[in-house]
């Protein structure tokens, strides 16, 4: 929407809501009020607005006298009646809204009459369940009501017409439609890393307890109770965990805003307000204490279960007890290796998926294309004036040097926004309740040339395709295959937006909303016949498109110096939005995978060093009886590799079972990708070999006499 009437014209994002919107969501404005029931009883007669806290601060400087002032939205005056709280994001978390307007004002603000159309699915419904009512009961009741509406208006309700109720936190609208599956996955992977770290700490505590055996034996012989020693060791473990939790909290506060850096510049009003509040601090504290106790209790019990006399007698007769004492540590390291393999496989799959997304051909050429937007409705243009402006602008842009081709459109593919319409296909007999909702875009001449989308048949739109000429349309191959299979689509007729269009071209399929979508039907309508005021310039240039931006803006301002040009970016940057969550997953899971690799190496080293230290006396006897150093080296190395192989086998089974839940998040790679599994197994084996090398070499260099005197 275009905001004027209080300083420089500004493009803002508004939400049309019913009068009880704030009441249902339990949101109280910090200033003024929300909407009154009476303000939605008179169609198009409620010229009021509620500002967001952010717009109130940036546009009005937080002035409390803003209530009662008049602003102009798309040239229509509205009175400010309230300001939302600073942390209120509306009913679509992850998306920013600058102001809220009564729903009945939609025909005035947008110029459309969708408020009265029963076949336009553009509203989201929110509600609170009554006490004692389950979500399933409410869903069944809503579907009974829906079926009554379908029977009353069958032509306007094709498709499944089923209502599903979702909690707001995993709503299919807004950023939550992506985050409700993505963030729990990251949380689960972070939990696996925590298990790895805790297993590592438990192993290191076991190793450390070897050096403290004499100290603990002396304290026990002097009268200290076992439980007193356990309490001391547990306090040490909890302090260690709390220190780690404190460092983690500092890192969280430092990096909380980094999530936004993964999102490329976009016209979609994405809002990522991530902060480490009291809930995060409390969760970190509780998890730290619990992990300190749970993973510190076994090392504490093991370290305190000593026979003081045997320890003080230099453990004579315990030569062969090393392997038995290291069973717990060996089990922990096997678990570490298997979990590390699982994390590394997940990281490898996401990284490979992101690489495939970067190399993937979306069906159009996204390189060397500049995008720039303007809104003629907000500037007061009528439809006839807007079409004339668009035609003049295209002619001027085409005359610029370095312009290979230029067009206008109302939509850019592979962004979070969608464009669909219900289409009636002449001669096609739809099945019962079959929906014919189709992807749709308004485009200008040379669109397919600019996007480099080949035409399978027919022609492009031209400047002669105006309201006075025959109404024409271009469809893609997927639409032809579904609705006119085996037929010549040229000359076929379809109805959209209440008018009939004749097909004059068939375009090759391309991606519209998601990279991993199957080919879906799409229809293109001429911008000069199906006019839309919010227009995007797409200019293919020779060289860097960003460097050409000033020339495009200057050309627009030659026709209207006061018309704002916004969202100047490149097509390549905009289409990167489609792989945003893959980029986030690759970065986070990749970091977790590297951390897991380090933890696995430390864990393997710790258990082999621990076991080797317990067997020092045994090694001395072996060498005194004639064993060569290389035999000792191979013996220790063999122990570490045996644990590694067991861990790899368990990790492969675990990965094959659990990675199937990642299928929907992957692109261009299967959850059982052999290259990823093989590469990760080889990498982990190599790291394990290096981790075993140091204690094996140390054991091989032990002097027999020193080993025989080892306590």
Q: CA 208 to CA 200: how far, in whole Å?
A: 12
- Tokens, residue 545: 């498109």
Q: Can you tell me whether residue 170 is helix, strand or coil?
A: helix
CB of 333 closer than 8 Å to CB of 203 = yes
Mean pLDDT of 183-193: 84
Q: How far apart are CA 375 and CA 13, in angstroms?
A: 13
Confidence at residue 590, expressed as pLDDT on a 0 to 100 scale: 84
DSSP string, 203-217: HHHHHHHHHTHHHHH
Q: Which helix (H) or strand (E) holds 336?
A: helix 327-359
| Percent of the chain scoring above 90 in pLDDT | 31
Q: Is the dihedral of CA 308, 314, 316, 321 positive or negative?
A: positive
Residue 235 — φ and ψ, nearest 5°?
-60, -40
611 burial (CB, 10 Å; 0-12 / 13-18 / 19+) is buried
Question: Please, are residues 196 and 600 in contact by the beta-carbon 8 Å criterion?
Answer: yes
Given this model, what pLDDT does residue 104 score? 92
Please report, for residues 109, 217, 446, the alpha-carbon distance to residue 73 in angstroms, rounded to integers and kept in the order given: 7, 81, 33
H or E element in which residue 387 lies:
helix 383-398
Q: What is the per-residue pLDDT for 492?
A: 93
Q: Using CA atoms, how far apart are residues 51 and 387, in angstroms rounded to an integer?
A: 32
pLDDT of 266: 67
Q: What is the average pLDDT score of the chain?
A: 84
pLDDT confidence of residue 702: 67
120 or 405, higher pLDDT: 405
Write out pLDDT tens, residues 492-524. Answer: 999 988 899 999 999 999 988 877 788 899 999
Interval 359-395: pLDDT, tens: 788 899 989 999 999 988 877 788 899 999 999 999 9
User: pLDDT tens-digit profile of 680-709?
Assistant: 999 988 888 888 887 777 777 766 666 555
Q: Does residue 451 register a pLDDT over 90?
A: yes
Tokens read off for 16: 């049309």
> Tell me, what's the pLDDT at 303?
65
- Give me the residues paired with residue 403 across strands: 541
pTM reported for the whole predicted model: 0.74
pLDDT of residue 457: 94
pLDDT of residue 326: 59
Indicate whether 320 pLDDT > 50. Answer: no
Minimal CA–CA distance to 643: which of 703, 692, 591?
692
pLDDT value, residue 321: 37
Checking DSSP bridges between strand 424-425 and strand 455-458, what pairing results, if any?
Answer: unpaired
Domains of the chain by residue range: 2-116, 135-170, 377-562
Contact 492, 484 (CB under 8 A): yes
Give the three-state DSSP class for 520.
coil
Say what the pLDDT of residue 507 is: 96
Band of residue 317 on the pLDDT scale cut at 50, 70, 90: very low
pLDDT on residue 315: 47
Which pLDDT tens digit goes with each residue over 398-447? 999 889 999 999 988 887 777 888 888 877 777 766 778 889 999 999 99
Pairwise CA distance, residues 448 & 405, whole Å: 10
- Position 5 scores a pLDDT of 66
pLDDT band at residue 24, thresholds of 50, 70 and 90?
Answer: very high
Average pLDDT (660-680) is 86
Question: Beta strands of 527-685 (E only): which ranges?
Answer: 534-541, 566-570
Sign of the CA dihedral running 260, 342, 207, 240: positive
The pairing of strands 472-476 and 499-507 is parallel
CA–CA gap between residue 21 and residue 652 (Å, rounded):
50
Interacting residues of 510 by C-beta distance below 8 A, sequence separation 6+? 362, 363, 364, 413, 451, 453, 476
**pLDDT bracket for residue 491 (50, 70, 90):** very high
- CA dist 553 and 563 (Å) reads 10
pLDDT band at 35 (very low <50, low <70, confident <90, very high): very high
Of 57-66, 322-331, 563-572, 578-587, the poorest mean pLDDT is in 322-331
């Amino acid at each position: 929407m275009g905001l004027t009437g209080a300083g420089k014209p500004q493009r803002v994002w508004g939400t049309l809501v019913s009068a009880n919107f704030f009441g249902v969501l339990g949101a109280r404005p910090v200033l003024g009020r929300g909407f009154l029931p009476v303000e939605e009883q008179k169609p198009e007669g409620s010229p009021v607005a509620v500002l967001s806290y952010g717009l109130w601060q940036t546009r009005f400087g937080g002035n409390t006298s803003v209530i009662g002032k008049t602003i102009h939205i798309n040239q229509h005056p509205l009175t400010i009646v309230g300001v939302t709280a600073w942390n209120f994001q509306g009913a679509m978390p992850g998306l920013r809204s600058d102001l809220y307007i009564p729903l009945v004002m939609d025909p005035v603000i947008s110029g459309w009459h969708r408020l009265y159309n029963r076949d336009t699915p553009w509203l989201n419904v929110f509600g609170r369940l009554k006490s004692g009512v389950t979500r399933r009961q409410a869903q069944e009741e809503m579907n009974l009501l829906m079926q009554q509406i379908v029977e009353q208006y069958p032509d306007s309700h094709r498709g499944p017409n089923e209502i599903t109720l979702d909690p707001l936190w995993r709503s299919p609208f807004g950023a939550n439609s992506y985050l409700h599956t993505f963030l729990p996955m990251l949380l689960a992977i972070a939990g696996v890393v925590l298990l790895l770290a805790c297993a590592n700490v438990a192993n290191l505590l076991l190793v450390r307890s070897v050096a403290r055996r004499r100290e603990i034996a002396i304290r026990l012989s002097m009268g200290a109770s076992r439980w007193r020693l356990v309490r001391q060791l547990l306090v040490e473990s909890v302090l260690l965990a709390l220190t780690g939790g404190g460092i983690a909290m500092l890192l969280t506060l430092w990096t909380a805003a980094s999530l936004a850096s993964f999102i490329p510049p976009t016209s979609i009003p994405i809002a990522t307000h991530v902060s480490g509040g009291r809930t995060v601090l409390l969760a970190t504290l509780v998890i730290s204490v619990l992990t300190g106790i749970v993973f510190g209790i076994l090392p504490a019990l093991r370290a305190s279960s000593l026979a003081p006399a045997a320890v003080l007698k230099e453990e004579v007769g315990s030569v062969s007890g090393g392997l038995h004492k290291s069973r717990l540590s060996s089990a922990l390291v096997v678990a570490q290796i298997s979990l590390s393999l699982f994390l590394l496989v997940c990281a490898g799959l996401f990284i490979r998926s992101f690489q495939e997304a970067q190399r993937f051909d979306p069906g159009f050429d996204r390189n060397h294309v500049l995008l720039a937007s303007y809104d003629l409705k907000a500037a007061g243009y009528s439809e006839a004036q807007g079409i004339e402006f668009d035609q003049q602008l295209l002619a001027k842009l085409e005359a610029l040097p370095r312009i290979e081709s230029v067009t206008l459109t109302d939509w850019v593919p592979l962004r979070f926004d969608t464009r669909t319409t219900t289409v009636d296909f002449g001669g096609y007999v739809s099945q019962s309740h079959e929906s014919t909702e189709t992807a749709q875009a308004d485009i200008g001449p040379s669109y397919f040339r600019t996007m480099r989308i080949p035409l399978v048949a027919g022609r492009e739109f031209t400047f002669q395709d105006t309201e006075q000429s025959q109404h024409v349309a271009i469809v893609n191959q997927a639409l032809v295959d579904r609705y006119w299979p085996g037929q010549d689509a040229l000359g076929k007729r379809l109805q959209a937006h209440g008018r009939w269009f004749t097909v004059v071209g068939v375009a090759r399929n391309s991606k519209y909303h998601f990279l991993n979508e199957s080919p879906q039907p799409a229809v293109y309508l001429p911008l000069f016949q199906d006019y839309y005021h919010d227009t995007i310039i797409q200019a293919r240039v020779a060289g860097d498109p960003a460097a050409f931006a000033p020339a495009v803006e200057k050309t627009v301002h030659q026709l209207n110096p006061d018309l704002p040009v916004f969202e100047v970016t490149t097509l390549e940057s905009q289409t990167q939005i489609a792989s945003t969550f893959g980029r986030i997953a690759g970065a986070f899971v990749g970091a977790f995978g590297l951390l897991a690799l380090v933890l696995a190496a430390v864990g393997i080293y710790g258990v082999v060093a621990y076991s080797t230290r317990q067997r020092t006396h045994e090694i001395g006897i072996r060498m005194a009886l004639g064993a060569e150093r290389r035999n000792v080296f191979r013996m220790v190395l063999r122990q570490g590799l045996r644990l590694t192989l067991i861990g790899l086998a368990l990790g492969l089974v675990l990965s094959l079972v659990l990675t199937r839940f990642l299928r929907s998040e992957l692109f261009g790679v299967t959850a059982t990708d052999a290259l990823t599994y093989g590469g990760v197994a080889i990498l982990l084996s190599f790291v394990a070999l290096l981790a075993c090398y140091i204690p094996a070499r140390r054991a091989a260099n032990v002097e027999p006499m020193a080993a025989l005197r080892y306590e």
